[in-house]
Amino acid sequence: MPYLFKMKIDGIDKIIIRRLVTDARTPILSIAREVGISGAAIHQRLRKLEKAKLIDGYKMTINPKSLGYTTTAFVGVFLDSSSQYSSAIKRLKDIPEVVESHYTTGNYAIFIKILCKNNDDLMELLNKDIQNIKGVLRTETFISLDQQIDRQISI
């Protein structure tokens, strides 16, 4: 991914971003009234922020616990060779419970976040799916007991 240039944003841009980060469904006209400019001007600023890659996208967030996913785990994946990275990632993408992956420095080649219904499902996923991926030497698993912080970088 190419490095992004450091973009200058003004106070109005900051208000727009803060409102939409808090609630992406905030009506544009509501933000426009708050800052004292037209809805069209807000849309124009949003297009500028999107084009500059400051806004990466808009999404709805599902509460996994409401679907019965009560176990969150982080797994360090050791590969027998760094040349296995691409094929391992391709296989990990086929596992729906893997919700994040990171190519890292340090002990692990890959660090993933997994959501499972319970610890038994986690164990089965590790043993049957992840540890059977060609090139995976071993894994190290950390189960999250509680999450207190979940936020984006502040503007």
- In sequence order, what E strands does 27-109 have? 71-79, 98-103
Please report, for the chain, how many H helices and E strands are present, in that order: 5, 4
C-alpha dist (Å) from residue 30 to 5, 44, 45, 52, 89? 30, 15, 15, 24, 42
What value, to the nearest 5°, has the Cα angle with vertex 147 and ends 109 and 106? 20
* Rounded-to-integer distance, Cα 118 and Cα 30, Å: 42
| Residue-level pLDDT at 1 | 47
Count the alpha carbons within 13 Å of 112 in the hemisphere toward its beta carbon. Answer: 25
| 107 and 56 both lie in a single domain | no
| 32 and 94 both lie in a single domain | no
* Rounded-to-integer distance, Cα 125 and Cα 48, Å: 43
Instruction: Average pLDDT across each block of 10 residues of the chain; the chain has 155 residues. List them in order.
Output: 68 95 94 96 96 90 95 97 95 98 95 98 98 97 96 87
Query: Is 152 inside a domain boundary?
Result: no
| Residue-level pLDDT at 5 | 57
| 57 and 68 both lie in a single domain | no
Map residue 63 onto helix, strand or coil: coil
Name the domain count of the chain.
Answer: 2
Q: Are strands 136-144 and 110-116 parallel, antiparallel or unpaired?
A: unpaired
| 31 and 51 both lie in a single domain | yes
| Residue-level pLDDT at 153 | 87
| Residue-level pLDDT at 2 | 53
Q: 85: domain CATH number? A: 3.30.70.920
| 42 and 73 both lie in a single domain | no
| 10 and 29 both lie in a single domain | yes
Region for residue 109 given its phi and psi (left: phi exceeds 0; alpha: psi -120 to 50; beta: otherwise): alpha
- Using a cut of 0.75, tell me whether the model's pTM lies above it: yes
Query: Is 90 inside a domain boundary?
Result: yes
What value, to the nearest 5°, has the Cα angle with vertex 127 and ends 124 and 133? 125
| 99 and 138 both lie in a single domain | yes
| Residue-level pLDDT at 8 | 85
Find the domain containing 122 and state its range.
64-144
Which token pair is 110? 């890959």
Query: Is 155 inside a domain boundary?
Result: no
